[in-house]
Amino acid sequence: MLTLEPVIVPATVSFIWTPEDYERFAAERPEAEPWPDNDYGSTQYFDAGGRALVVITINPAQHAQGEVLDLIDTLTHEAVHAWQAVREAMNETEPGPEAEAYFVAGLVRWMAGAVLPLTRS
């Protein structure tokens, strides 16, 4: 599990890609959805004491036989949902397009750096 705590926004983004890590997370958050067994990934939002907690899960079993591009597609899709949650946590109704693009691109790079090496084994 990776956790990104940007200083400038009231949100924490966590990225989970193993059922074991998700199980540990969900034990502390009874409102968490189940592990996405039959889905490529999901994004959930929680209130964490005045900060938004955004949890992105990617199911590697769904990507095991797939193309790397499918994984990148899922990472990008979930990164956009994370951006939507962070934007809401900041009460930002009209963010600039560059802010949105940089956030999503940075988040995809961060997540891809964690999971792409696993696809090369």
Mean pLDDT of each 10-residue bin along the chain, 121 residues long:
67 90 93 90 88 89 81 93 89 86 90 79 54
Predicted pLDDT of residue 5:
61
Amino acid at 110: W
Predicted pLDDT of residue 12:
87
Fold entry, domain 2-120: Leucine Aminopeptidase, subunit E; domain 1 (3.40.220)
Predicted pLDDT of residue 120:
63
On whether the CB atoms of residues 2 and 15 are closer than 8 A, the answer is yes
Indicate the domain borders of the chain: 2-120
Predicted pLDDT of residue 114:
86
Predicted pLDDT of residue 76:
94
Predicted pLDDT of residue 80:
95
Place of tokens 């899709």: 77
Amino acid at 83: W
User: CA distances (Å), 37 to each of 17, 19, 32, 41, 120, in order?
Assistant: 12, 9, 14, 9, 22
- Secondary structure (3-state) at 87: helix
User: CA distances (Å), 11 to each of 3, 48, 61, 90, 113, in order?
Assistant: 11, 9, 28, 8, 21
On whether the CB atoms of residues 25 and 1 are closer than 8 A, the answer is yes
The b/e string for 67-81 (b: 16+ C-beta within 10 A; e otherwise) is: eeeebbebbeebbeb
